Structure 1
Amino acid sequence: MQTIQQKFERFHRDNPEVLQILEKLAREWFAAGGPRKLGVKMLWETMRWHRSITAEAETFALNDVYTSRYARLLVIRNPEWAPHIELRELRAA
């Protein structure tokens, strides 16, 4: 049985556009002068909403358990965002 981390790594490898979209949305948020804290879950749901209204065929499912892993990737790739994205302890491997 695969761990959540292993499933995430596979999903991320197979869908690199997810991180790109999240980074784009975060940049838009900060450029608009959004509040100090940024919820990655908000970005996740925004991405989900955009995908649902465009009704893209053959699209991947967005599993909510991956948001914490993407939050970490956003901070690693954009350390200046670290004060604005809260990272909580991972409870599942």
Structure 2
Amino acid sequence: MTVQLELPIAAIQQPENPGGKLTIQERFEAFDQLNPWILKHLESLTADCVERGLGRIGIGMLFEVLRWQYGLATRGEPWKLNNDFRSRYARRLIDLHPEWSPLFEIRKIHTA
């Protein structure tokens, strides 16, 4: 028996920016605002890893688990969880749970 998850995803709505392209940070903030369930789900996956005693967690692994679970739960038009947002989500998780900082390797962001 397969459990059907309800995980809505909204498309990124481009804020008005007549001067040029949006930065990664601007795109992330728009995406995160439209899809708050993603951070909550990543938080839940991280908490599960902590409970199981994992000492290091890769945000890439969490993204792939989320992609897998979401792929099982949906039909129709595919969606994308942009890899550009990985480091931003890892930082958000650490902001919410400073005790998780040893779990993730955080590098300097080179582009906005």
Normalised by the length of structure 1, the TM-score is 0.92
User: Which of 30, 42, 50 does residue 30 from structure 1 map onto?
Assistant: 50
User: Which of 71, 74, 89 does residue 93 from structure 2 map onto?
Assistant: 74
Q: Does 1:6 align with 2:21?
A: no
- Unaligned runs of at least 5 residues, structure 1: none
Distance 1:57 1:82 in 2: 37
Q: Does 1:41 align with 2:56?
A: no
After TM superposition, give the deviation of residue 31 of structure 1 in Å. 0.3
Question: Which structure is larger by alpha-carbon Rg, 1 or 2?
Answer: 2
After TM superposition, give the deviation of residue 60 of structure 1 in Å. 4.2
Distance 2:27 2:100 in 1: 26
After TM superposition, give the deviation of residue 63 of structure 1 in Å. 0.5
After TM superposition, give the deviation of residue 88 of structure 1 in Å. 0.6
- Unaligned runs of at least 5 residues, structure 2: 1-20
Q: How many residues align?
A: 92
After TM superposition, give the deviation of residue 71 of structure 1 in Å. 0.3
Q: Residue type of the partner of 2:60?
A: K
* Percentage of pairs with the same residue: 38
More helix by share: 1
Higher relative contact order (CA 8 A, sep 6+): 1
Report the equivalent of 2:38.
Answer: 18
Displaced runs of 4 or more, over 6 A? none
